[in-house]
Amino acid sequence: MESRARSTWKGDLFSGSGTTTLGTGAAGPLPVSWPSRTESAAGKTSPEELIAAAHAACFNMALSNGLAQGGTPAERLDTEAVATFAKTDAGWRLTRMELAVTGAVPGLDAEGFAAATAAAKDGCPVSNALKGNVEVSVAANLA
């Protein structure tokens, strides 16, 4: 399986802008700009927001699978991912991804849910793509 997206940019980095469209046509064109990355989104997206969305979806899939394989399938998982884009000594970097998940999982206690979320964080392909470059954390709560 290959996934595609397309982006178009006009102008210089600071005053220019562009659009990003998912290859499936499911979203886009989504407006992007430098200020939407560093100041205020103002109705535009950023690469970091798109990575956060991908991470939240991937994490939910990994956690759902792990819970089902463990005999406690989830009724619902709600995950928010917050990507931090910050200026470092090496330049602008995606420095941190914070996942916060709330799950409705009958028959599972908080300790079991925390263990399942830790395993999902380590097994999620997007987490693995970020590993070694971005600090990834997860906070887990049962509904």
What is the model's pLDDT at position 100? 98
What is the model's pLDDT at position 101? 98
pLDDT digits (tens, 9 = 90+) for 48-107: 999 999 999 999 999 999 999 999 999 999 999 999 999 999 999 999 999 999 999 999
What are the boundaries of each domain within the chain?
A: 5-38, 47-142
The three state secondary structure string of the chain is: CCCCEEEEEECCCCCCEEEEEECCCCCCCEEEEHHHHHCCCCCCECHHHHHHHHHHHHHHHHHHHHHHHCCCCCCEEEEEEEEEEEEECCEEEEEEEEEEEEEECCCCCHHHHHHHHHHHHHHCHHHHHHCCCCEEEEEEEEC
Class of domain 47-142: alpha beta
Average pLDDT for 12-16: 94
pTM for this structure?
Answer: 0.93
